[in-house]
């Protein structure tokens, strides 16, 4: 349950940072559309960077010499 709350808070804080950094007033429909676009781009970047990180971790030599 704690992991779920941590992940949820991570995504909420990400959304709030996108809103504040781009000065978006969420009461306007155009800003909601812009926020959706920026949030999907942020999530895609997060996913792509996670893939790169996992690939590098897997390539490491984990056996003692």
pLDDT per residue of the chain (65 residues) written in tens, 0 to 9: 999 999 999 999 999 999 999 999 999 999 999 999 999 999 999 999 999 999 999 999 888 87
Stated pTM of the model: 0.79
Residue 19 within a domain: yes
CB 52 within 8 A of CB 45: no
Give just the sign of the alpha carbon dihedral 48, 16, 25, 21.
negative
- Rounded CA-CA distance 19/43 in Å is 14
Domain count of the chain? 1
Tell whether 64 is covered by a domain.
no
Domain membership flag for residue 31? yes
Cβ atoms of residues 25 and 31 within 8 Å: yes
39 part of a folded domain: yes
DSSP state letters, 16-37: HHHHHHTT--TTSHHHHHHHHH
């Amino acid at each position: 349950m704690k992991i779920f709350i941590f992940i949820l808070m991570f995504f909420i804080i990400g959304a709030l940072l996108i809103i504040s950094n781009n000065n978006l007033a969420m009461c306007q429909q155009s800003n909601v559309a812009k926020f959706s676009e920026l949030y999907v781009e942020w999530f895609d970047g997060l996913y792509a960077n996670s893939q790169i990180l996992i690939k590098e971790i897997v390539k490491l030599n984990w056996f003692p010499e």
